[in-house]
Structure 1
Amino acid sequence: MEKMEHTILEDQKGDRIDKVISGLDEEWSRTQVQQWIKDANVLVNGQPVKTNYKCSLNDVIEITIPEPEELDVIPEEMDLEIYYEDKDVLVVNKPRGMVVHPAPGHMTGTLVNGLMAHCKDLSGINGVLRPGIVHRIDKDTSGLLMVAKNDMAHESLVNQLVEKTVTRKYKAIVHGVIPHDFGTIDAPLARDTKDRQSMAVVDNGKHAVTHFHVLERFKDFTFVECQLETGRTHQIRVHMKYIGYPLAGDPKYGPRKTLDIEGQALHAGILGFTHPRTKEYLEFEAPLPKDFEQLLEQLRK
């Protein structure tokens, strides 16, 4: 069982405890959190509380995250955009707004639900809720994901991620005009101590490196390509904010006044890896989503 602590901040005081906790991690649903509170897996200043408890400044919340239950993932017919598939691996283009895998409380509508309907065989390494999922992209990021259809493929793809031999290139629109054409951001990332649902550059965080180069400059924005060397949670979003060029449309790390796009303007456009069985290098490219292209057209005008 994992334990986590959170101290109530100024902007959270007066909020209901279930609302605060479900806001700490985008995978936790309100229903699931309410169950944790009822089961006394949530303590405030060492005491159990009710789900409608209103938080006070500096309350210390202790959360014991129960082991995930063995839940059956319901296959759901979806119109998935499959770029490649054989008996070992599958490459899919995930639309913006879709969550990659189920979590207790939101068990349907995820990419995994669609994959389960599309093919019955996915690796079991990550357990019932994340079958076949080797790496993730955020709900509001679109683009290519590799999926393992058996445990051999899963181990091979994970090792390639660890050894940094997977090619992962993203296109993004950021606020501000980046003066230089190329850059590398080498800054360690960890959970933000003030806000557990966000990541931040932290001295003793995990090693994280993002390379970028400028594709096009506009009056107040820049179109860039970012290449991941490591794949930490929210890496590109946090790194670009850290150097002063946050992603357009990013509800968590970007400014309020931004471009008209649902979620961050970030697209995982190029994915390359060595096939686990044939050892052949495969690379795929997915075009920008329509709304992303339209934004670029507006900026060019």
Structure 2
Amino acid sequence: METMPQKLRGLGVMLAIGILPGCCRRTTNALVIADPRRRPSIRTLTAQLGFSTKPAVIQKRLVSLSCMAVTTVRSRPLRSTSTTVQGGYFDDIVSSTASIASTLQNAYESRGTDGVVEAILGCNVLSKLVRHGEDHAAYVLIEAARQAAPERDRLALASTLNAILASCCGDEDGKGGFPGISFNMLLTIDELCRDDEAMVAPDIVTLSLVYHCLHKSSGEFESHCRSILERAQKLAKKKAGSQRRKQLAAERRRKVMDQDLLQIQSRLRELCGPDITVLENTEDLIVVSKPSGVVCYHTKMTTAGKITKKRKQKARSNQPDFTGQADISLVDALLDVTSLSTINPLARGIVHRIDRGTSGALVLAKTDECHLELVALFFLRRVKKKYFALVHGDDMLEQEGTIDSDIEGKHAVSRYRVIKIHEDAGKPFAVQLEVETLTGRKHQVRIHCAHGLGRPIILDPLYGQDGSQQLSDRISKLEKELNGMREMFFLHAAQISIPEFGITAEAPLPSSWCEILDQQESSCNQ
């Protein structure tokens, strides 16, 4: 009869070779994988091996025991239903996991999730690991991520795991992906979450990346895609409060009448003003040009922006400053004319956002399936965004360049080029820039203009108040002219491109830019 240390050592071997998710049974001479498709928990495995120790205690000792197993496994041949593994292989597993962990740690510290994706793809980590099985590859990658993340830093662990899943997605055509590794990672993370409090649970980004990876592959994963979608919907329902849950249930039963583009745009302008424009409208998504001063969504349940029959009548009567008084959000206005996805219960349809004072292109998901796809595409940096920014400055700024400056400790990169220099009485007072964001950090364009170029965006209330920056008479006049507009400053999301949906939408400059800067109407529509 085997002793307790011998049984623990056997369980450690399972962890070391990555067959822990398989349904295993221990014999005197070998560990046999009875059915690799079944995935019992640590509790089940310990029960099968006859352990009386609590699973939580076993869990804490597995890492050290897996290393102990490497030294003893040479005298204990292992066999499975598919392959026989030699003792030297275990040394490779332990060393490769440590090597991958070191690579992930360095990449994340230098370039964040983008660095992790580049490191995995650049070193062909997935291609090398998948030779020993997708199940094994998933476990090695998760263990490497746990070693790479600082202790108790759940955000770093979640970000690293999501970056690994992003590297499994392949190119834009779905080629070169590893859907099997992606799906096995999701199952393994779920398994570990049941037994290890230090493990992070899958979030919407995790589910979106796995959904995108499986959806791009062949039809064999179709049923898994449906289950992931249902899981995301349940997660959204869990996050929503009781009142929002009722709204979500009603919305999923709601049937919106088909309307043409002009009808939708006309109704939106009644609620949000003349500057709102519908740029694209499909069954899955809608792209609009948001006016400056309109918030994307309200963070709390409020009646301030609630759309009622009385407020609709006031809007149609063109009462002055109605939209400013009502504070109708973009989401509330869109829900009045179309349906939006329910995956994000606090901000329906929102997969990215722009500030209240920023105008321009914004894409919203109308279906839950599209919502998951868009979240994955934004994480994969496959959605391209360009902005127009009017900044303080003169003709001394270089015509184009790259801004590589971290934001709150996170890697951030933008490219810019000078479009036009505006003059007042023959002297330059403002420069119009085109800025393309290569990463997606909060306030990235505003911070890069203010701190990276030393030229803050005109009227920016957060980053434009530089005591050393002497405003010209013309800019002081702009402040007075725009005093009645809600938090307006000169930043405009000019273009958004989503190649996988075949969409490139360009938002026209707001009328305020054209009027205040004395531009010709033709140049405003370019």
Structure 1 residues 88 and 68: alpha-carbon distance in aligned structure 2, compared to 1, 3 A threshold: closer
Structure 1 residue identity aligned to 2:347: R
Structure 2 residue identity aligned to 1:266: L
Distance 1:151 1:264 in 2: 33
Distance 1:166 1:70 in 2: 34
Structure 2 residue identity aligned to 1:215: I
Distance 2:516 2:397 in 1: 21
Match of 2:465 among 255, 265, 284: 255
1:237 aligns with 2:462: no
Distance 2:391 2:243 in 1: 39
Match of 1:182 among 400, 404, 416: 400
Distance 2:400 2:242 in 1: 46
Q: Secondary structure at the match of 1:189?
A: coil
Structure 2 residue identity aligned to 1:147: L
Match of 2:334 among 104, 115, 123: 115
For residue 280 of structure 1, report the CA deviation from its aligned partner: 4.4
For residue 81 of structure 1, report the CA deviation from its aligned partner: 2.4
Superposition pairs of residues 152-191 of structure 1, within 5 angstroms: 152-177=369-394, 178-190=396-408
Per-residue deviation, residues 31-69 of structure 1 (Å, max 9, x unmatched): xxxxxxxxxxxxxxxxxxxxxxxxxxxxxxxxxxxx874
Distance 1:224 1:230 in 2: 18
Structure 1 residue identity aligned to 2:435: C
For residue 229 of structure 1, report the CA deviation from its aligned partner: 1.0
Aligned length: 211
Match of residue 220 from structure 1: 429
Distance 1:280 1:236 in 2: 25
Q: Which runs of 5+ in 2 are unaligned?
A: 1-238, 252-266, 270-275, 306-327, 423-427, 520-526
Distance 1:105 1:132 in 2: 16
CA RMSD after TM alignment? 2.3
Per-residue deviation, residues 139-173 of structure 1 (Å, max 9, x unmatched): 01001100111122112112221121212111110
Distance 1:207 1:221 in 2: 28
Superposition pairs of residues 70-85 of structure 1, within 5 angstroms: 70-72=242-244, 78-79=268-269, 81-85=277-281
Match of residue 286 from structure 1: 507
Match of residue 44 from structure 1: none
Q: Secondary structure at the match of 1:91?
A: strand
Between 105-114 and 81-90, the greater mean CA deviation after superposition: 105-114
Distance 1:181 1:224 in 2: 9
Q: Which runs of 5+ in 1 are unaligned?
A: 1-66, 191-204
Structure 1 residue identity aligned to 2:333: G
Distance 2:383 2:336 in 1: 27
Instruction: Kindly indicate which of the two structures has a greater share of residues assigned to strand.
Output: 1
For residue 220 of structure 1, report the CA deviation from its aligned partner: 2.1
Structure 1 residues 102 and 280: alpha-carbon distance in aligned structure 2, compared to 1, 3 A threshold: closer
Match of 1:145 among 359, 362, 365: 362
Per-residue deviation, residues 58-97 of structure 1 (Å, max 9, x unmatched): xxxxxxxxx874444799x642522111110110111100
Match of residue 495 from structure 2: 270
Q: Secondary structure at the match of 1:156?
A: helix
1:297 aligns with 2:518: yes
Structure 1 residue identity aligned to 2:398: H
For residue 295 of structure 1, report the CA deviation from its aligned partner: 3.1
Distance 2:385 2:240 in 1: 30
Match of residue 209 from structure 2: none
Distance 2:441 2:243 in 1: 27
Higher relative contact order at CA 8 Å, sep ≥6: structure 1 or structure 2? 1
Using structure 1 for the length normalisation, give the TM-score.
0.65
Per-residue deviation, residues 166-216 of structure 1 (Å, max 9, x unmatched): 1211111000125211111111112xxxxxxxxxxxxxx222111110001
Distance 2:302 2:491 in 1: 24
Structure 1 residues 137 and 99: alpha-carbon distance in aligned structure 2, compared to 1, 3 A threshold: same
Q: Secondary structure at the match of 2:445?
A: helix
Distance 1:156 1:169 in 2: 21
Per-residue deviation, residues 204-257 of structure 1 (Å, max 9, x unmatched): x22211111000123121111111111211111111100210000111111374
Q: Secondary structure at the match of 1:179?
A: coil
Structure 1 residues 111 and 213: alpha-carbon distance in aligned structure 2, compared to 1, 3 A threshold: same
Match of residue 6 from structure 1: none
Structure 1 residues 106 and 212: alpha-carbon distance in aligned structure 2, compared to 1, 3 A threshold: farther
Using structure 2 for the length normalisation, give the TM-score.
0.38
Superposition pairs of residues 55-94 of structure 1, within 5 angstroms: 69-72=241-244, 78-79=268-269, 81-94=277-290
Q: Secondary structure at the match of 2:517?
A: helix
For residue 281 of structure 1, report the CA deviation from its aligned partner: 2.1
Instruction: Kindly indicate which of the two structures has a greater share of residues assigned to helix.
Output: 2
Distance 1:145 1:97 in 2: 14
